[in-house]
Amino acid sequence: MIKELIIDSSPNGATIALLQDKQLVELHKEQVSNNYTVGDIYLGRIKKIMPSLNAAFVDVGYEKDAFLHYLDLGPQVQSLLKLTKQVRSGGYQSKLLDGFKLEADINKGGKISEILTKNQLIPVQIAKEPISTKGPRLSSDLSIAGRYVVLVPFSEAISISKKIKSNTERTRLRKVVESIKPKHFGVIIRTVSEGKGVDELQKDLLDLISKWEQFITKLPSVEPSKKVLGEIGRTSTILRDILNPDFQHIYTNDNSMFEEIRSYIHEISPDMESIVRMHKHKEPIFDHFGIEKQIKGAFGKTVNLAGGAYLVIEHTEALHVIDVNSGNRTASKENQEENAYQVNKEAAKEIARQLRLRDMGGIVVIDFIDMHKPQNRKELFDFLRAEMQYDRAKHTILPPSKFGLVQITRQRVRPEMNIVTSEVCPTCNGTGTIRPTILLMDDIENNFNYILTEQNEKGITLCVHPYIEAYIKKGIYNRQMKWFIKYGQWIKVKSNPSYQITEFHFFSSKDEEIKL
């Protein structure tokens, strides 16, 4: 399996596309303004204790208070509270936990009112980003993730990924980590650690210890509700978690992003540094790799499959329903049972991709086409489980019910990726009445008068539909040349196939959209 990562960077953030064998399987958006990323650690202030929910609402600076349940406090929350109090008062000077006396674990069936009080300060970690009308979900069981290991303070336990099957390798990794981990820190050994040497594991662990020291250094001076320690960017997080020898290329269209990724890969996997490439074509990076077209085809209520079948996907707040339809496959000469089995297998593969692509979480109910043979139902269930093994989100798949429905629960830690693929009518703009298209050039030139004359912008770019670009550039003495003579500066004209035919936008010399 060949994997490629394509990163479209802009001043507002980055859109990250993961391709497997040229097919889009994951799409992530990293916003510059996103301050509540999974893994970020904040110094929270308890705003309200809710005994009926056995939970607390915590102020972390978000417009809505974040939610912290008793079960998410972590067994060593008393040690965390004690350390926070001592560090902020200046009573504990060390950056590690060698001289720190751990408190007893809390009772799993206890009450949150026995642990926390109103206005108390507690370091908390974002476990779920704000979704819909809900604020962030928090945990005070802190952990700092690296490429090979995860550092867990106030613990001595060493846990090893269940995906590492070899007992010899598990014993080796445990001995290596035991010899290098600091006192009162637990370690979770990740799957990618398999086969790695002491040097690589130690370097990763030292990086995490350095982050913990940053946390302790900032803790005395940070204001309540502010971030203490930030998770690395979404791009680096994806690389940290999934980078492996299957990766063939990583493309980006931004110089600073290119250097950042290359530097990060040099740290975690120097032998793969050469796979990072700079996209230098004039064509937008997502258009060049066919991603824009795949996005338009993969999102939306109806998803067509190659064999003529299709999926209908409906969403609610916590439930997603997927209906499998055979479409024109009903005309097949195969018998009905075999035809249903083949359509269901094709649908199962696409459904596994759709869950990752849209990052659908909560409960997913799939209505496959009815099959009468128990063997076919079992094989379909096994096939779906095999396709879902590439999904990094925690999930559970239940066998088909007596109604033929397959239920999946999938972890949701970020808002679902939702892209509107239906376009507003280019002639009426959704109003039912149209503006004369003969006035399109007048509209563009009126905006030029405002941007160039009144705003005095320099080096602007006009972005339009490819048909309009061709019209503007047609002939020697074309519209672009006339604008140069009229305004005294050359106006770049670029096309974007995803635009409606009468849609146009202006961009500054810094590639930021000029809002009109």
Q: pLDDT tens-digit profile of 371-410? A: 888 899 999 999 999 999 888 888 999 998 878 899 999 9
Q: Is 165 domain-assigned?
A: yes
| pLDDT of 231 over the 80 cut | no
Shared-domain flag, residues 75 and 122:
yes
Handedness of CA 7, 12, 13, 18 (dihedral sign): negative
Supply the range of the domain harboring residue 476: 437-514
267 CB-near residues (< 8 Å, 6+ apart): none
Sheet containing strand 247-252, edge to edge, reads 23-31, 13-20, 3-10, 247-252, 276-278
| pLDDT of 425 over the 60 cut | yes
Last residue of a domain, one of 209, 226, 243: 226
Q: Is 98 domain-assigned?
A: yes
* CATH number of the domain residue 13 falls in: 3.30.420.60
Q: pLDDT tens-digit profile of 350-371? A: 999 999 888 888 899 999 998 8
| pLDDT of 332 over the 60 cut | no
Shared-domain flag, residues 152 and 264:
no
Shared-domain flag, residues 102 and 172:
yes
DSSP 453: I
Instruction: Say if residues 404 and 416 touch (Cβ distance below 8 Å).
Output: no
Buried/exposed code over 409-444 (b: 16+ C-beta within 10 A; e: otherwise): ebebbbeebeeeeeeeeeeeeeeeeeeeeeebeeeb
Shared-domain flag, residues 215 and 252:
no
Instruction: Say if residues 118 and 47 touch (Cβ distance below 8 Å).
Output: yes
Percent of the chain with pLDDT over 90: 43
Instruction: Say if residues 363 and 320 touch (Cβ distance below 8 Å).
Output: yes
What's the average model confidence in pLDDT over 52-63? Answer: 93
CA separation for the pair 4, 21 (Å, rounded): 8
CA separation for the pair 169, 158 (Å, rounded): 14
Q: Give the confidence band of 423 by pLDDT, cuts at 50, 70, 90.
A: low
Domain count, the chain: 4
Shared-domain flag, residues 497 and 451:
yes
Q: Cα-Cα-Cα-Cα dihedral of 480, 482, 485, 490, to 10°? A: -10
Shared-domain flag, residues 85 and 201:
yes
Shared-domain flag, residues 108 and 203:
yes
Q: Is 423 domain-assigned?
A: no
**How many C-beta neighbours within 10 Å does residue 349 have?**
15
- pTM to 2 decimal places: 0.68
Q: pLDDT tens-digit profile of 429-460? A: 666 665 566 678 888 888 888 888 878 888 89
Residue 468's φ and ψ, nearest 5 degrees, are: -70, -35
- Tell me what pLDDT residue 295 has: 85
